[in-house]
Amino acid sequence: MSIRLESARVVVDTVDGPLEVLQRTSLDLTERRVALIGPNGSGKSTLARLVNGLVEATSGHVLVDGLDVVRSGREVRRRVGFVFTDPAAQLVMPTAVEDVALSLRRTHRDAAARRRAAQDVLAAYGLAGLGDRSVHTLSGGQRQLLALAGVLATDPTVLVADEPTTLLDLANARRIGDLLLSLDQQLLLVTHDLELAARCDRALLVDGGRVVADGAADEVVAHYRATA
């Protein structure tokens, strides 16, 4: 599992002209759990979204397991799962089981088998018995678990999570955080939760569109606390 940025730079057009939201960045990310931290608007979410093509580099290249994110977009998206801050951005079916089943349509052609597999996924993530519940009646923690379950059902090798605990209460934030850190997948975690970030293997501090600190997660978090 590896993520590589080769002089990746992102410039967007604004009413005031071009804005560089990520300066030229070169990184090799091979650790299992990598945190991206920094102030709002620093460019950390932009960096994370480069990994599955939600944002394309204006110049430079982004590679996942040696595959170019732009040239091999479909294959990369099969390898890289993405969890948004607000689960409403990715829960598109009426019920929990239907939402997970949607993720399984490529691997389970038979509808009955797909539903059974979806129920198994729900049970694996603590959502047993909620399959026929409307996604709108689930709690915030349950919705985030469901969004995560739907992504992990596709068996990605990399999971990008963009502030997945921001909208949750303390108990659910801890539950989701513990789950994320227990995954076998390589995790790229954008977060303002510095305690959670410090539990990762490596952290990148992003500020002003560039990586200003990079190293052991607890050390980078301590540096950010001291300089913020």
Q: Which fold has domain 3-89+156-227?
A: Rossmann fold (3.40.50)
Which pTM value belongs to this model?
A: 0.93
The predicted model gives 65-88 an average pLDDT of 94
pLDDT digits (tens, 9 = 90+) for 99-134: 999 999 888 889 999 999 999 999 999 899 999 999
When pLDDT is cut at 50, 70 and 90, the band that residue 224 belongs to is very high
**Average pLDDT of the residues of the chain:** 94
**Is the pLDDT at 1 greater than 80, yes or no?**
no
pLDDT digits (tens, 9 = 90+) for 11-25: 999 999 999 999 999
- Quick check: helix, strand or coil at residue 100? helix
Residues 6+ apart with CB under 8 A from 72: none
CA distance 19 to 16: 8
Per-residue pLDDT at 195 = 96
At 165, the amino acid letter reads T
**Is the pLDDT at 222 greater than 80, yes or no?**
yes
Domain map (residue ranges) of the chain: 3-89+156-227
Per-residue pLDDT at 9 = 97
- Quick check: helix, strand or coil at residue 111? helix
The predicted model gives 73-99 an average pLDDT of 93
Per-residue pLDDT at 228 = 83
- Is the model more confident about 191 or about 106? 191
CA distance 112 to 114: 5
